[in-house]
Amino acid sequence: MKNIILSLLVIVLIGFAGYKAFSPKWSVSKEVEVATTTPVVATEQVEKDVFVIDISTSTITWKGAFVAGKKSETGTIMLKSGKGKFENATISTGEFVMDMTSIKDAGGSAQLETHLKSDDFFNVEKFPEAKFELLSFTPAKTAGEFVAKGKLTIRDVTKDFTFPVKLSVEGQNMLRVTGNITFNRADYNVKYGSSSFFKGLGDKVISDKVELTLNLVTKPIEISQPPSSSQQQPTN
* Domain ranges, ordered by start, for the chain: 50-62+73-185+211-217
pTM flag (> 0.85): no
**pLDDT of the residue at 214:** 98
Contacts of 180 (CB under 8 A, 6+ apart): 163, 164, 211, 212, 213, 214
**pLDDT of the residue at 234:** 52
Options 3.30.470.20, 3.40.920.10, 1.10.8.50, 2.40.128.110; CATH for 50-62+73-185+211-217 is 2.40.128.110
By CB neighbour count within 10 A (0-12 exposed, 13-18 middle, 19+ buried), where does 66 fall?
Answer: middle
d(CA 160, CA 151): 5
Contacts of 203 (CB under 8 A, 6+ apart): 66, 68, 69
**Span 183-234, pLDDT tens digits:** 999 999 999 999 889 887 777 889 999 999 999 999 998 877 655 544 445 5
Q: Are 101 and 95 in contact (CB under 8 A)?
A: no
**Span 52-90, pLDDT tens digits:** 999 999 999 999 987 766 678 999 999 999 999 988 888
